Amino acid sequence: MRQDQAPPLIPELMFKDVWANPIACSILKAILGSELVCHYANGNTTLKATGRQPVHSDIDKPHPMFPFAYIINIALCDVSAENGSTEIWPGSHRDSCIDQHTSARGEAGLTIKPALLKERMKHSPPVQPTTKKGSLVIRDVRLWHAGRPNLTDTPRIMLAFVVQPKWFQAPSKVILPMKARKMVESWQLETGLEYAAQWMDGEVDHKKIKSDDVDFATGNRRLLELESMMHPSK
- For the stretch 174-199, pLDDT in tens is 999 999 999 999 999 999 999 999 99
Lowest mean pLDDT among 45-54, 91-100, 206-215: 206-215
User: Strand, helix or coil at 114?
Assistant: helix
d(CA 44, CA 37): 21
Q: How many CB atoms lie within 10 A of CB 204?
A: 20
136, pLDDT greater than 80: yes
Scored b (16 or more CB within 10 A) or e, 6-35 reads bbebeeeebeeebbbbeebbeebbeebeee
125: which residues sit within 8 A by CB, 6+ positions away?
89
d(CA 34, CA 25): 9
Q: How many CB atoms lie within 10 A of CB 89?
A: 22
229, pLDDT greater than 70: no
Residue 51 DSSP label: -
Of residues 176, 95, 79, 83, the one with CA closest to residue 135 = 79
Tell me the C-alpha to C-alpha distance, in Å, between residue 199 and each of 95, 159, 176, 218.
37, 21, 5, 22
CATH of the domain at 186: 2.60.120
* Mean of pLDDT values over 148-152: 95
**Summary mean pLDDT of the chain:** 89
Of residues 87, 81, 91, 90, the one with CA closest to residue 130 = 81
Residue 115 DSSP label: H
224, pLDDT greater than 80: no
Q: Where are the beta strands (DSSP E) in the chain?
A: 2-4, 36-46, 70-75, 87-88, 136-140, 145-146, 156-165, 174-177, 193-195, 197-200
User: Could you tell me the residue range of the domain that residue 68 belongs to?
Assistant: 2-230
Tell me the C-alpha to C-alpha distance, in Å, between residue 33 and each of 27, 29, 38, 170, 193.
10, 5, 14, 16, 11
Residue 97 pLDDT level (bands cut at 50, 70, 90): confident
Q: Is the Cα dihedral 117, 107, 132, 96 positive or negative?
A: positive
Residue 103 pLDDT level (bands cut at 50, 70, 90): low
pLDDT for 14-60, tens place per residue?
999 999 999 999 999 999 999 999 999 998 889 998 889 999 988 87
- pTM, two decimals, is 0.89
91: which residues sit within 8 A by CB, 6+ positions away?
124
For the chain, the domain total comes to 1
Residue 128 pLDDT level (bands cut at 50, 70, 90): very high
